[in-house]
A and B are shown apart, each in its own frame.
Chain A
């Protein structure tokens, strides 16, 4: 029920963006290619998840219109980590996703977007005596993500962005593995 509420909220955001999107000026717009390179904090929200850790991501997308962007992304997210004596327990997830972004220009230098993605998730656990979110072994599963972000184009074709994402994919135990990611991106466009 809670996950449904989250999905509903982001869907609403997508609809709002698609209704009120205007023409961008000096930022990402039709036929431009948008690149993101970034890192941030990721946190698993499953049973036996510990404090999150770092995540790194890349995104490349083509602006089909002034507001619609399609692309691909790759990440490496360590979303659960703890030290155990001289060793550590961690969960690394590597998503490879096809993405759709809906941009909304909120100012001369600022754009916000909502994003959805779908693809495959490679989970690589390094666990102690309990699985993290029912994952004991390395696995590859289909999954998806939803999120939103802002990009501040302080050099018109270069800028920084903040992004917040929620990822989820099924496990072999028929439960859902989910995690959040908050990322700070270096972003630039090519014509």
Chain B
């Protein structure tokens, strides 16, 4: 008879253990060590982190029972800042632990504002030591109208920037020897008659 009670007791314990199946989760902290604000997506949630700031998010992993079940998962982080090129990374989150990721500068930037009365339809850049410009940075059919600006991310170094615009007919202008420094953002209001010193 005692054996019967033991078996029934074991069954009840199994059911109770199932009903109490444990949730597993972990924390992820994303710190923005870049010098400009970061915007991106962490685990399908849109995030914005000011320069020098950080966010911590609790990541749900799943359900486990006794020794069976997931205790880790991968979480994706995508995004960019003015001084951080668009990137995508995956972090492994472990149950009960905190995972950290640091966003750091990997480029400099120029914010080019169109100070002219006509629109810009092409922007090309080249390293100061090169002879040819690369492809346009604008998307097909994209233009920069008057008083609008455009972000140009540039690796550390010296750059020439070619700007193609319409003034009754097609023209182009070149900004020479722009020095790009890691983590620095330069606002430049462009006009074809202006000269620039850096």
Residue ranges of A at the interface with B (Cβ–Cβ < 8 Å): 2-3, 5-6, 40-41, 43-52, 80, 106-107, 110, 112, 129-130, 133, 150, 162, 164, 166, 178, 180, 182
Q: Is the CB of B62 within 8 A of A52?
A: no
Q: Is the CB of A180 within 8 A of B62?
A: no
B170 CB-CB contact with A under 8 Å: no
Q: Is the CB of B68 within 8 A of A3?
A: yes
User: Which of B7, B19, B64, B69 counts the most chain A CB atoms within 10 A?
Assistant: B69
Given contacts A43-B63, A47-B62, A47-B73, contact A52 B68 (CB under 8 A): no
Q: In the complex, what's the smallest C-beta–C-beta distance from A153 to chain B, in angstroms?
A: 12
Closest 4 CB pairs of A and B: A45-B69, A162-B11, A49-B63, A47-B62
Interfacial chain B residues near A133, Cβ < 8 Å: 62
Considering only CB atoms, which chain B residue lies closest to A161 in the complex?
B11
Q: Is the CB of A182 within 8 A of B7?
A: no
User: Which of A5, A43, A44, A130 counts the most chain B CB atoms within 10 A?
Assistant: A43
Q: Is the CB of A2 within 8 A of B68?
A: yes
Q: In the complex, what's the smallest C-beta–C-beta distance from B41 to chain A, in angstroms?
A: 11
Interchain CA distance A40-B7 in the complex, whole Å? 18
Interchain CA distance A178-B64 in the complex, whole Å? 10
B65 CB-CB contact with A under 8 Å: yes
Q: Is the CB of A43 within 8 A of B67?
A: no
Q: Is the CB of B21 within 8 A of A45?
A: yes
Considering only CB atoms, which chain B residue lies closest to A181 in the complex?
B18
> Residue B60 contacts which of A6, A43, A48, A80 (CB distance < 8 angstroms)?
A48
Interface size class of B (residues with CB under 8 A): 20 to 34
B55 CB-CB contact with A under 8 Å: no
B3 CB-CB contact with A under 8 Å: yes
Interfacial chain A residues near B60, Cβ < 8 Å: 48
Can you report 18 residue pairs joining A to B where beta carbons are below 8 Å apart?
A2-B68, A43-B65, A44-B62, A45-B70, A48-B62, A48-B73, A107-B4, A110-B4, A110-B7, A129-B44, A133-B62, A150-B7, A162-B11, A164-B11, A164-B14, A178-B68, A178-B69, A180-B18
Interchain CA distance A107-B7 in the complex, whole Å? 11
Interfacial chain A residues near B11, Cβ < 8 Å: 150, 162, 164
Interfacial chain B residues near A50, Cβ < 8 Å: 63
Interchain CA distance A40-B8 in the complex, whole Å? 16
Interfacial chain B residues near A6, Cβ < 8 Å: 67-68
B61 CB-CB contact with A under 8 Å: yes
Considering only CB atoms, which chain A residue lies closest to B73 in the complex?
A47
Q: Is the CB of B64 within 8 A of A45?
A: yes
> Residue A182 contacts which of B3, B15, B67 (CB distance < 8 angstroms)?
B15
Considering only CB atoms, which chain A residue lies closest to B14 in the complex?
A164
Interchain CA distance A11-B70 in the complex, whole Å? 23
Interchain CA distance A5-B66 in the complex, whole Å? 12
Interchain CA distance A44-B44 in the complex, whole Å? 23
Interchain CA distance A2-B61 in the complex, whole Å? 18
Q: Is the CB of A45 within 8 A of B18?
A: no
Interfacial chain A residues near B62, Cβ < 8 Å: 44-49, 133
Interchain CA distance A167-B105 in the complex, whole Å? 48
Interchain CA distance A150-B65 in the complex, whole Å? 21
